[in-house]
Amino acid sequence: MPTIIIASQEARAGRTTVAAALGALLAEEGKSVRLARLRSGDGTDAAANAAAEDDARVLASVPGCTAANAAISEQDALGLARDAGTNVLLIETPAGVSPDLATKLSARVVLVTHDANDIAKAKSALGDALTGVIALPVANAGDFDTKGVPLIAALPEDRLLAGPSVGELAQALHASRLVERGSEDEAVEYVMLGPISADPGQPYFLQHGSKAVLNRFDKMDLHLAALATEPDCLILTGGQMPSPYLIDRVAGSDFDVTVLLAPDGTVRTVELLDGLFGNTRFAGQRKLARALEHMRERVDRDALAALIA
């Protein structure tokens, strides 16, 4: 079975999304799949190292696949490629295409991109090693020019895949955790502000399932209305402690909700969240399930069969 490099020209292009979803799909169809995340360069870039380790842990959680729980070196990748046997080996590499690595691994390369111009650059660098393209986010596959390279799948824009995790929300807001429940790796699809009208809060919050709800620290009626709709996260703005009753209510319940206290006011908090959607990491079972769903629906079966033949 082949060794396949999942590559992109730029960071945050969706390589982990593709590697996880493609691996899960192949495993679902009875293939033996091994996933790996290649460490960045010489390992001296702390941020790139941390990102690689995060991605490796995500790949290790993909059902039906085998994967190490840590990023691997190029030497490790060479060993995996030599011993692949009947495995389909999918290796996510750092941003940038590497003809040298493709040659060393005798690997086929799948480029992940939303920009057709990236394909021409990759084709010039990789030649015949560039075996396929997975495009995301793309509204219409028919409008995407792959420059003659097989289009394996075109995945749509998706709020959940673009959504931040509870942990990323806390980090972006410099928020403290008053209550920690549930997984901070799971993404929220919506961030909802409490209503300012006289309408009851609960019907308003019921509009969306996966959500974080943002209210000022002293809006107890809205906090309780939001809690009744089982949000993933409550974000309290204003930097002051809420009523102890709210903390007791959450801590003594079965709600899997994290309560964050943001130091800034509501307007500034919203400003800090602006731009967070679409600039997040791939993590959590919700994102994996959604990415797999899109891959099932939109993969070109003939192109995929040729890729792994």
Domains of the chain, by residue range, sit at: 3-157+282-308, 164-273
Share of the chain above pLDDT 90, in %: 71
What order do you get walking across the sheet with 233-237 strand by strand?
A: 176-179, 258-261, 233-237, 211-216, 190-193
pLDDT of residue 215: 93
What is this structure's pTM?
0.89
Identity of the highest mean pLDDT range in 15-29, 30-44, 137-151, 272-286? 15-29
Name every residue whose Cβ is closer than 8 Å to that of residue 82 and which is 6 or more positions away in sequence.
Answer: none
Range with lowest mean pLDDT among 26-40, 80-94, 194-208: 194-208
Phi-psi region of 122 (alpha: psi -120 to 50; beta: other; left: phi over 0): alpha
Task: For residues 52-77, give the mean pLDDT.
Answer: 94
What pLDDT, on a 0 to 100 scale, did the predictor assign at position 201? 64
Q: What is the CATH number of domain 3-157+282-308?
A: 3.40.50.300
Model pLDDT, residue 197 = 60
Residue 87, pLDDT score? 84
The reported pLDDT for the residue numbered 240 is: 96
Distance in angstroms (rounded) separating the CA atoms of residues 210 and 265: 24
Instruction: Report the pLDDT value the prediction gives residue 3, as an integer from 0 to 100.
Output: 95
Mean pLDDT, range 103-120, rounded to an integer: 94
Residue range 38-56: average pLDDT?
Answer: 83
State the average pLDDT for the chain. Answer: 91
Beta strands 33-37 and 88-92, pairing class:
parallel
Is the pLDDT confidence value at 34 over 80? yes
User: Which two three-digit tokens encode residue 164?
Assistant: 């931040």
- Res. 198: pLDDT tops 60: no
Q: Is 118 a residue whose pLDDT tops 80?
A: yes
How far is it, in rounded angstroms, from Cα 282 to Cα 284? 7
Average pLDDT over residues 198-204: 67
Segment among 54-58, 116-120, 142-146, 259-263 with least mean pLDDT: 142-146
Chosen CATH of 164-273 out of 3.40.225.10, 3.90.1170.30, 1.10.580.10, 3.40.1390.20: 3.40.1390.20
Residue 71 has pLDDT above 70, yes or no: yes
Confidence of residue 83 (pLDDT cuts 50, 70, 90): confident
Of 284, 227, 232, nearest to 258 (Cα)?
Answer: 232
- Range of lowest pLDDT (24-38, 157-171, 270-284): 270-284
User: Phi then psi for 179, rounded to 5 degrees?
Assistant: -140, 135
pLDDT digits (tens, 9 = 90+) for 247-259: 998 888 788 899 9
CB atoms within 10 A of CB 108: 19
CA–CA separation, 40 and 250 (whole Å): 41
Question: What is the arithmetic mean of pLDDT over 217-227?
Answer: 90
300 in Cβ contact with 150 (< 8 Å): yes
